[in-house]
Amino acid sequence: MLILCSPSNPTGAVYTLEQLAALAKVVARHPRLVVLADEIYEHIIYAPATHHSFAALPGMWERTATVNGFSKAFAMTGWRMGYLAAPTWIAAAAASIQGQTTSGASSIAQRASLAALGLGHAGGESVATMVHAFQQRRDYVCRRISAWPGARMRVPDGAFYAMPDMSAYTGPGAQASGFGPIPDTDTLAVYLLQQANVALVPGEAFGAPGTIRISYAASMEVLTEALDRVERALVNIKRS
């Protein structure tokens, strides 16, 4: 199985149509390969980037299970409502497993999901307003991170995560006064949690050592305070 996530958690990257088409050619060469396309961030995307569903590519519908939900674009985190779009042979197998493991999506959550879908394509004006706010936060967070000495990052095209390379603050010789050595971003995340009271996710959790994931799904006031704290803590890291 090839698992795709676009727009991506944790990087905010968005596959272009050309990149997806190239991947589809690879999938087509391997008859037993199926694709799980996680597209839950499809509406949280910043121009000029655009979302393309992998199942819509030629020959990919019969090979693709598209998963989506309401927690991101419709801010229904905790309602635990999601859905699958797939050819019958995949959907039937998924239903067989699901029926023995989980059930009982509440009627309230289902009604709320119907209301969300009723907002129209891409969630209508309410989602567009939210995405605009996310873009403002993205621009602010990226501007602040880019000013950190040694930090490197690519501006995300979707979702609400930034994932800068923080290798300049880790590795042999990196040490924080009163804390100790910081050999990797796992340790850096612990340091920032203890010293700055800010929770970040180390890149090791995503197979990307040297990076940290920062979520900007918070108010501008909270983001400002959090980044101020991180900056003050980073200044305390020295290399011997």
Are 72 and 44 spatial neighbours (Cβ–Cβ below 8 Å)?
yes
User: For a pLDDT cut of 70, what percent of the chain falls above it?
Assistant: 98
pLDDT of residue 103: 67
pLDDT of residue 80: 86
pLDDT band at 239 (very low <50, low <70, confident <90, very high): confident
pLDDT of residue 137: 97
pLDDT (tens digit per residue) in 102-150: 667 889 999 999 998 888 766 678 888 999 999 999 999 999 999 999 9
Q: Quick one: tokens of 82? A: 């999601």
> Who's near 77: CB < 8 A, 6+ residues apart?
71
Phi, psi (rounded to 5 degrees) for 101: -120, -35
Mean pLDDT for the stretch of residues 7-31: 97
User: For a pLDDT cut of 90, what percent of the chain falls above it?
Assistant: 82
> Who's near 187: CB < 8 A, 6+ residues apart?
170, 181
Residues 90 and 106: their CA atoms lie apart, in Å, by 24
Q: Does a cis peptide bond (omega within 30 degrees of 0) precede residue 58?
A: no
pLDDT of residue 124: 75
pLDDT (tens digit per residue) in 27-63: 999 999 999 999 999 999 999 999 999 999 999 999 9
> Who's near 115: CB < 8 A, 6+ residues apart?
none
List, in order of start, the domains of the chain with CATH numbers: 2-118 (3.40.640.10), 125-239 (3.90.1150.10)
Mean pLDDT for the stretch of residues 181-190: 97
Distance of CA 8 to the CA centre of its chain: 5
Tell me what the pLDDT averaged over the chain comes to. 94
